[in-house]
Chains A and B, each alone.
Chain A
Amino acid sequence: MALLEIENLVVEFQTASGPFRAVDGVSLKVHEREVLAIVGESGSGKSVSMLAVMGLLPWTAKVTADKMAFNGRDLLKLSPAERRKMVGKDMAMIFQEPVASLNPCFTVGFQIEEVLRVHLGLDKAARRARAIELFSAVGIPDPAERLGHYPHQMSGGQCQRVMIAIAIACNPKLLIADEPTTALDVTIQKQILDLLMRLQAEHGMGLIMITHNMGVVAETADRVIVQYKGRKMEEADVLSLFESPKSNYTRALLSALPENAVGDRLPTVAGFMVDEAPVAGAAQ
């Protein structure tokens, strides 16, 4: 059985010029122990669809789906209170800007212990012990001392490690990483990706990797979904996507990579785009 199963997800926002469809009929499945990458450019609806799964969209968004089930439970029918119990515990999310997603007014120790208190109800000593354990698991040196630090005292890479520690604090079944390395340097990116892949393997988590970087996809994913303007253009396992992309859009994206440049000008996506039908039907 799939861990997360979404069928025909539609997210609409009410705007001054009528409703705007950010996600238009996306279906996907994530299995346990699987790394799914969702690739697309800005505005392709990749983040919005995952925020819909997490229930983090503002009230202006209208979310509909034929099916949206996590671990056998229907997410559409959950009450907000039940959903809050699930989010952060069984499924967790890491955001793009680590420095901005931590609260600057509290120590990182307080922020990680808050999760442990709310979801697991651990007492003070157990919380602290677990926080130290988590910090060492994500490779933060001198964890006991670091608990007392504020986000501004740490580098971007360290803050992202804290975010990951918070996300995996309750051993989630599904981890959603929304552009986890976009704001980081390449050497730090490598460390964070290695860390995520190690944790994913150790805990047997399902991992959804949202990214626009084809290199990150190639280094992490088992299966890939390519999105464009809110629609799913292609779904394939990682090798066949890079070896023989089926949709024109994927092909255009791959050839726009500077490392694949032929000649002295890059082909641009607009030159490739013909009106292409998105892949219909349920996910594999």
Chain B
Amino acid sequence: MSQLVLEARNIVRDYHLSGGLFNKARTVHAVKGVSFSVEKGKTLAIVGESGCGKSTLARIITLIDPATSGELLIDGNKVDIGKETLTTEMRRKVQIVFQNPYGSLNPRQKIGDVLGEPLLINTGVPASERRDRAMKMLLKVGLEEKHFNRYPHMFSGGQRQRIAIARALMLNPSLLVLDEPVSALDLSVQAQVLNLLADLQDEFQLTYVFISHDLSVVRYIADDVMVMYYGEAVEYGSRDEVFSNPQHSYTKTLFAATPRADVESIKARLAKKKAA
């Protein structure tokens, strides 16, 4: 069996809302006991609607927020940021790319500095090496040397998402969490970014946790799929299992709601319309 990069056992996350003048204190159960594992070089897609807890889960995996209970193992090591401070080595292992490339880059930072900053914070490499490695990564994600000294506003959405991916890769992570990385992008740009992710995965044997609500993208990129609904994993299996034989009624609803862009379904719709 190949090596497990990420293993989560029974992850729970509750948010306690303190009461105010008009509201009583209450607890929101954002993630209710979710377990999964991802092998090296594979992609796990987490699918669900807004409010289902998928971004909360992403924050837990990325070691930004602690889980209320449950175990999280990264490269076989148990991590609990609620109890102990994290070593820079652990920080290095998991990186994240956010949904909105317009919001996740500092508008006053040049691209070269954006890419150098993870090294500055987490390692002691000298400035000249930081610059060299940032330049190499820039070329790797399909940008050019001349982009090094530009500011984020000078780039298109797709280029910015490339920069965000480059930044996440600067520390050679073993696990990359992608929180809706292509939902803000146009169709053609989406295809380019998905291709880039596939290329990088092949080259560095990267492991992805890909969070999305777009089933057609998930079907294209994922090895395993987990469907979340109100904080629970209602369906978890290999891509082919989940897509060919969904078990849970929510998964079926989700599939039925996804618009189909094939000729057969258009014919069926037009025929129905004519009859009506």
Q: A-side interface residues toward B, CB under 8 Å? A: 41-42, 156, 185-190, 193, 201, 212-219, 238-239, 242-243, 252-254, 256-261, 264-270
Contact = CB atoms under 8 A, between A and B. Distances in A.
Contacts of B187: 41, 212, 214, 253, 256-257, 269
Interface stretch (B110-118, B131-139, B144-152, B210-218): B210-218
A212 B220 contact: no
Nearest to B259: A215
Contacts of B267: 239
Given A186-B258, A217-B261, A242-B263, A269 B215 contact: no
A193 B260 CA distance: 13
A185 B50 contact: yes
Contacts of B270: 238-239
A273 B262 CA distance: 23
11 contacts: A214-B187, A215-B259, A216-B259, A252-B188, A253-B188, A256-B188, A261-B220, A265-B195, A267-B191, A269-B188, A270-B188
A70 B195 CA distance: 44
Interface residues of B, number: 37
Contact of B261 (A41, A185, A215, A264): A215
B200 interface: no
Contacts of A242: 261-263, 266
B90 to A, nearest CB: 32
Interface in B171-225: 186-192, 194-195, 198, 213-217, 219-221
Given A212-B187, A242-B263, A242-B266, A268 B192 contact: yes
Contacts of A214: 187, 261
By secondary structure, the B interface counts as helix
A66 to B, nearest CB: 30
A63 B215 CA distance: 40
A188 B49 CA distance: 9
A269 B217 CA distance: 17
Nearest to B265: A218
B195 A268 contact: yes
A239 B195 contact: no
B56 to A, nearest CB: 16
B259 A218 contact: yes
B23 interface: no
A265 to B, nearest CB: 5
B154 interface: no
Given A218-B266, A266-B195, A259 B257 contact: no
A226 B150 CA distance: 34
B49 A186 contact: yes
B244 interface: no
B260 A256 contact: no
Given A185-B213, A187-B257, A268-B195, A218 B262 contact: yes
Contacts of A261: 220
A259 B188 contact: no
A268 B267 CA distance: 27
Contact of B216 (A42, A254, A259, A264): A259
Interface string B36-62: 000000000000011000000000000
Contacts of A243: 263
A219 B259 contact: yes
Given A41-B187, A185-B50, A259-B219, A213 B259 contact: yes
